[in-house]
Amino acid sequence: MSPFEPANWLPTTHGYGPLAGGLAVNTLDGLDLAQLRTYSRWLWPPIAAILLAPFGALPFELGVPALHVATIVIAIGSALWLVRVLMPPALRPLAFAVLVASPPLVQVMRAATVTLAILPSTALLFAGLRRIDGPRIGLASFGLSIRPQLFLVVLAGLFGVMSARSMRRALVTSAVVWIVLNTVAFVVSPIPLDPSLLDAAREYALHDNSSTWRLAWEVAGDGVAILAPLMLAGALVASAVAVRRSPAASRTEMVIACALALAVAAAPYAHTYDHLALFPAWLLVLRAANTRSRGLRTVGSLAVILAALGYGWSAYLVGAAGFRAAVAVTPFLAIALCASVAQRPELQPGTTHPRY
């Protein structure tokens, strides 16, 4: 039974009694099969089915609880891993607390969505870049591909970073690993070439969601084609400032953190879950602020807490009330903070910043 065929959802809706109410809600909204083919389908890459397959193979009463438990364990473990990769020991408790209390992580643990793969993949990516480890970077890129609309932007940042002479071998290795893994995934779980899937994806971009494009439409109406690109251009300029002003030792991390935030901002359809990709930006801001004076350190930490938790939860509650586009401001806040705390290192006479 193909999960891409809405007709196969109907037994799930009615075959498990009251438990199915929250599991197959798309078919409980009074939509017929013709509407379901273009209205209530998400377009996921094969890795999503592969990640869910072990839980689907279990009896229903075991598979669903196991999925939720695994999601919580992986979410907390991945947050801790990312903190250990990016943060000095003294800042890890605060950084971990910010991530665990943030709306994206709480929501992904609550919903048990496979979008969670963004977080361990991000931690693996930064660990791989630190060691210039091609296989790790390739595996991390494969995991990030679970959200193709995000990965495509991150790919540009990765290519820019890894085009340096010292990383070209790792670039080739990671590309080979990514291609092999995706080929195997498509063979194991092929996506049907059904044009209605693209229609469904296009339809969701017009729905109430947390994307920059939806926010621009809410603000400017038909002027969305002008306002959204202007917002993204501003974010790109701020990202360039953050990267340019970062110390050489941490510039690669800043490039990828800004690329992840830009990916969330540029995606035509975004959800609170996708803001897991903002975690590196929050952590780098905390780390950079810690190198400043005591007063600026406090201001930087409070800014992250207010942006990631204060505004994040406020926007989420506003979204729950019917205006999800409010969450779209968050990646712009993350990029702005990166640009504001990045400190141009003092240069010795005759030296210049390394370029990618």
Side-chain-facing half-sphere of 43: CA atoms under 13 Å? 22
Per-residue pLDDT tens over the stretch 230-286: 999 999 999 999 999 988 888 999 999 999 999 999 988 888 889 999 999 999 999
Contact status, residue 326 vs residue 275, Cβ threshold 8 Å: no
Residue 304, both tokens: 């992250």
**CB-count burial class (<10 Å; 0-12, 13-18, 19+) for 110:** exposed
Q: How distant, in Å, are the alpha carbons of 3, 71, 115 from that of 64?
A: 17, 11, 16
pLDDT, residue 355, reads: 39
Per-residue pLDDT tens over the stretch 306-350: 999 999 888 878 876 667 788 899 999 999 999 998 765 544 334
Q: Which of 35-44, 122-131, 204-213 ranks highest by mean pLDDT?
A: 122-131
Domain-by-domain residue ranges, the chain? 41-341
**CB-count burial class (<10 Å; 0-12, 13-18, 19+) for 108:** buried
Nearest to 104 by CA among 315, 323, 267: 315
Residue in the block written with tokens 């609880």: 65
Name the pTM for this structure: 0.84
Per-residue pLDDT tens over the stretch 117-142: 999 999 999 999 999 999 999 999 99
Could you give the CA distance from residue 280 to residue 284 in angstroms, rounded to a whole number? 6
Per-residue pLDDT tens over the stretch 138-164: 999 999 999 988 898 899 999 989 988
H or E segment to which residue 137 belongs: helix 134-144
Q: Is the dihedral of CA 149, 174, 55, 107 positive or negative?
A: negative
